[in-house]
Amino acid sequence: MSAKSTLHEGWTVTGDPGTPAAAEPIPATVPGEVVSALLAAGLVADPYTDEGERGVAWVGRRDWTYRTTFTYEGGDHDGVDLVFDGLDTVARVSLNGEVVGESANMHRRYRFDARSAIRQGANDLEVAFTSPYTYAEAQRDRLGDRPNAYDEPGNFIRKAACNFGWDWGPNLASAGIWRDVRLETWRTARIAEVVPRTSLEGGQGIVDFAIDLQRAGEADLVLVCTAGGHTAVLPVPAGAGTAQVRVAVDDPQLWWPHNRGGQPLYDVSVTLRSGDEELDSWTHRVGFRTVELDTEPDADGRPYVLKINGEAVWVKGVNWIPDEALFSRVDAARLERRLRQAVAAGIDYVRIWGGGVYESEDFYRLCDELGLMVGQDFLFACAAYPEEEPFWSEVEAEARDNLARLAPHPSLVTWTGNNENIWGWHDWDWQEPLGELSWGAGYYHDLLPKLVAEVDGTRPYWPGSPYSGVRELHPNEPTHASVHIWDVWNQEDYAHYRDWRPRFVAEFGYQAPPTWATVRRMTTDEPLQAESPSMLWHQKAADGQAKLQRGLDAHLPPVRDFDDWLYFTQVNQARAIRLGIEHFRSLQPYCSGAVVWQLNDCWPVTSWAAIDGEERLKPLWYALRDVYADRIATFQPHGEDGVKLVVVNDSAEVWNGVIGFWKCTSEGRITGRALLEIRIDPRDTAEVVLEGQVAPAPGEFLVTGREDFPRATWFTKEDKDMDWATARFTAETAAVDGGVAVTVTADTVLRDLCLFPDRLDPDATVDKALVTLIPGEQAVFTVTSEAIAASPELTAALTTKPVLRAIND
């Protein structure tokens, strides 16, 4: 029987001669990276606080060597392998002084034959990393420079692009053994790879196992394959290294996104035997479902409609970046917290962006279990990539490895060739500097679709995000397939989302700083200001603060202090994305989905995220929960000055009911009422143009009642121009299990009322935000925090600024 033992203990790391730190060995955690080891040893400052990132900039420009000693007991083995699930990135692996393998790709697994080097007893294992800059710059000099969105050589090394810094992330281009390492021993033969391809045929769930074997001789073997309690046995004759086995499961339950149905998963296994001896085994879980991507041209252009089990799904998506800049810090528990936050916000689709990594098994397993669809980019982002060797072969090996590794997961529904590179070739002044140089087109249009069909064969592939469907058409053409909308954040007010009529929005976003407690983690600046040095260091977007200010100037009253700035920018982010998604949803089925940039952060930073780098919810998260609800009502412009109410039913049931709304003055006095009887079929929309006494005049606003769907509002003027009364209310607190309930009763209009308990307890959470009330209405905020509940002073502070805020306070 094969045996596996992890090699995670006793590691040290040493810098090359002349390193500013760690010229002598220091302890190193494996999986891990050099920056984490230096930080644990107290040799560098925290790169996440103030401008600490500057203090580790030298790390990526040095060579590093990891070493450990392990014991091998020997035995009658035909195979002894060192297996690395992730080496970051350019490494030479030596065992007892003998080189057994090399790596040049962070994104693939490596298996090195150790038989000639290993010895019984103690063994010295060394992994020597070359500086990623040394390698990438040498490749750039050899092949000729190519455009990149950043002045970094990250497109000349198969390493996460965001390691070299991004407009939301730090430059921590370190090195390390970033995933598991182990010693594997085996006799006679082993299972090298299993790709279980699932399908549905005639009421059965089919699992077609494609199995690769590694042999040490010519023995006859037997494969025993199971799926859902059904078994198939296949003799494998001497010399055969591959096998195909089909297992059928009767009447399988289907896997669905969480808002469409259940997530039944079936155990599958492959056992390799020789006579009565079990040599090796492989186990996983699969789900049965079909996936289609409808991009057939229609009268309006080209749709981009994702279908699961034959049903069109309106995608309620987010973009995903690595959840930590120091990747090894991310464990299964952290991923589960993040993905459960996504589900709680009504999100059903997570796009793994091409500048990060292929995520861990835990990530996809959790998405399988939680019913989150995954769109997976191949790892190319915002740059021209060379197609010459060694890169072509590395990309092929990387793609084959990850296509096979991720094949079992029903949550994985699409593969996409790259992020913005086809767009870049068209629009970002690449063509003249590139001349005849390769830039990646061969990957996106030839190699990757061939490999997806060959290795996977069950999921659709799309050449790029964005991409319009044919090479001759501009890749970001709104009427054709997927688009990215970035002119709004970069150049225009967020109301201009309504100028777009997209078929599918794969990226759009609006910035805000993180929560108060996270701001205080990332900066010690005093006084704390929007333009203080560390606040600016943690704003990586070009002219980011100016763009935030442009948004404030367009919509909100002047800020008086940092507390105003923090609250107003967070509200503006939430409003911008809500406006965009409500508009896109009002266009369905013409528009088939929206994927917000972005769900998460990898460190404390001002960014487009809904959940900040310390795992705290920004107001945007609460806005997503509202706007991604299955049933929503939204006021939308109609004609030059008119208004219509669009009602969207994305549930599986008919929506029969009454929607009531009021027309109000800025004082909150009701001047008009309407009750609309509705009957909307499942997955359908309806709209009503507002006329007569319910059409708002300048200075008035519309608000739906306290219904069983998120409240809809429409304002005829911006807050800065509305004649709001200064906020007046009463607030009462009461103890509840694990925290405090805060009941706010409005005496005036309260606009986007928020409660920020993290100002009192960094671990505190609250159940709602962005609540608009008219006089006489109440809202109850439930704060979870034992620390606040135990302190009368902190409990009292829940009812006053800067913890409790309204735009008109």
In sequence order, which residues have a C-beta less than 8 Å from that of residue 724 and are 6 or more positions away?
666, 748, 749, 751, 807, 808
Nearest-CA neighbor of 129 among 155, 82, 92? 92
Q: With the C-alpha atoms ordered 421, 536, 46, 521, is the resulting torsion angle positive or negative?
A: negative
- Given this model, what pLDDT does residue 155 score? 98
| Residue positions counted in the chain | 809
Mean pLDDT (whole number) for 248-260: 97
**DSSP helix/strand/coil, 10:** coil
Q: Position 781: which residue type? A: F
> Mind listing the pLDDT tens digit for each residue in 384-409?
999 999 999 999 999 999 999 999 99
CB 195 within 8 A of CB 208: no
- Given this model, what pLDDT does residue 712 score? 96
pLDDT over threshold 80, residue 1: no
Hey, which CATH number is domain 631-715, 2.30.110.10, 3.30.360.10, 3.40.50.2300, 2.60.40.10? 2.60.40.10
- Given this model, what pLDDT does residue 441 score? 98
Mean pLDDT (whole number) for 502-511: 98
In sequence order, which residues have a C-beta less than 8 Å from that of residue 459 and are 6 or more positions away?
291, 412, 413, 414, 415, 452
- Rounded Cα distance between 354 and 256, Å, is 25
Determine how β-strand 349-352 pairs with β-strand 373-377.
parallel
pTM of whole model > 0.85?
A: yes
Residue 486 CB neighbours (<10 A): 15
Q: Residue 369: what are its φ and ψ, rounded to 5°?
A: -75, -35
pLDDT over threshold 80, residue 211: yes
Q: Position 384: which residue type? A: A
Quote the crossing angle between the two packed helices 332-344 and 361-370, to the nearest 10°.
30
pLDDT over threshold 90, residue 70: yes
- Rounded Cα distance between 596 and 610, Å, is 9
* Positions of E strands within 98-241: 98-104, 110-113, 121-129, 164-166, 169-171, 176-177, 181-186, 189-201, 204-215, 221-227, 230-236
CATH topology of domain 3-183: Jelly Rolls (2.60.120)
- Given this model, what pLDDT does residue 640 score? 85
CB 33 within 8 A of CB 87: no
- Given this model, what pLDDT does residue 18 score? 86
- Rounded Cα distance between 157 and 159, Å, is 6
CB 646 within 8 A of CB 633: yes
pLDDT over threshold 90, residue 706: no
pLDDT over threshold 80, residue 425: yes
Nearest-CA neighbor of 289 among 315, 258, 325, 333? 258
CATH architecture assignment, domain 312-627: Alpha-Beta Barrel (3.20)
- Rounded Cα distance between 662 and 314, Å, is 30
- Given this model, what pLDDT does residue 692 score? 80
Q: Calculate the average pLDDT of the chain.
A: 97
Q: Which two tokens stand for residue 418?
A: 């790259």
pLDDT over threshold 90, residue 693: no
Q: With the C-alpha atoms ordered 685, 689, 695, 697, is the resulting torsion angle positive or negative?
A: positive
Q: Which two tokens stand for residue 261?
A: 């149905």
Mean pLDDT (whole number) for 292-306: 98
> Mind listing the pLDDT tens digit for each residue in 122-131?
999 999 999 9
CATH 2.60.40.10 residue ranges for the chain: 187-286, 631-715
- Rounded Cα distance between 213 and 272, Å, is 9
Q: Which residue has the tokens 């994104």?
A: 107
> Mind listing the pLDDT tens digit for each residue in 76-107?
999 999 999 999 999 999 999 999 999 999 99
CB 445 within 8 A of CB 452: no
705-710, long-range: CB within 8 Å, 24+ apart, which pairs? 705/659, 705/660, 705/661, 705/662, 706/777, 707/633, 707/659, 707/660, 708/631, 709/629, 709/631, 709/632, 709/633, 710/626, 710/627, 710/629, 710/632
**Neighbour-count burial for 638-661, b at 16+ CB within 10 Å, e otherwise:** beeeebbbbbbbbeeeebeeebeb
CATH 2.60.120.260 residue ranges for the chain: 3-183
Report domain 729-805's class. mainly beta
Share of the chain above pLDDT 70, in %: 100
Residue 738 CB neighbours (<10 A): 11
Mean pLDDT (whole number) for 135-145: 98
- Given this model, what pLDDT does residue 284 score? 98
- Rounded Cα distance between 78 and 76, Å, is 7
Q: Label residue 183 by pLDDT band (50, 70, 90).
A: very high
Mean pLDDT (whole number) for 781-807: 98
CB 788 within 8 A of CB 759: no
Q: Label residue 808 by pLDDT band (50, 70, 90).
A: very high
> Mind listing the pLDDT tens digit for each residue in 640-652?
889 999 999 999 9
In sequence order, which residues have a C-beta less than 8 Å from that of residue 520 and are 6 or more positions away?
none
Q: With the C-alpha atoms ordered 479, 484, 487, 489, is the resulting torsion angle positive or negative?
A: positive
CATH 3.20.20.80 residue ranges for the chain: 312-627
Q: Which two tokens stand for residue 788?
A: 């606040």
CATH architecture assignment, domain 187-286: Sandwich (2.60)
Q: How far is CA 453 from CA 197, 289, 449, 456, 612, in A?
A: 11, 18, 6, 6, 37
> Mind listing the pLDDT tens digit for each residue in 584-636?
999 999 999 999 999 999 999 999 999 999 999 999 999 999 999 999 999 99
- Given this model, what pLDDT does residue 2 score? 84
Q: Label residue 277 by pLDDT band (50, 70, 90).
A: very high
Q: Which two tokens stand for residue 53?
A: 């990132």
> Mind listing the pLDDT tens digit for each residue in 467-484?
999 999 999 999 999 999
Q: Position 143: which residue type? A: L
- Given this model, what pLDDT does residue 479 score? 97
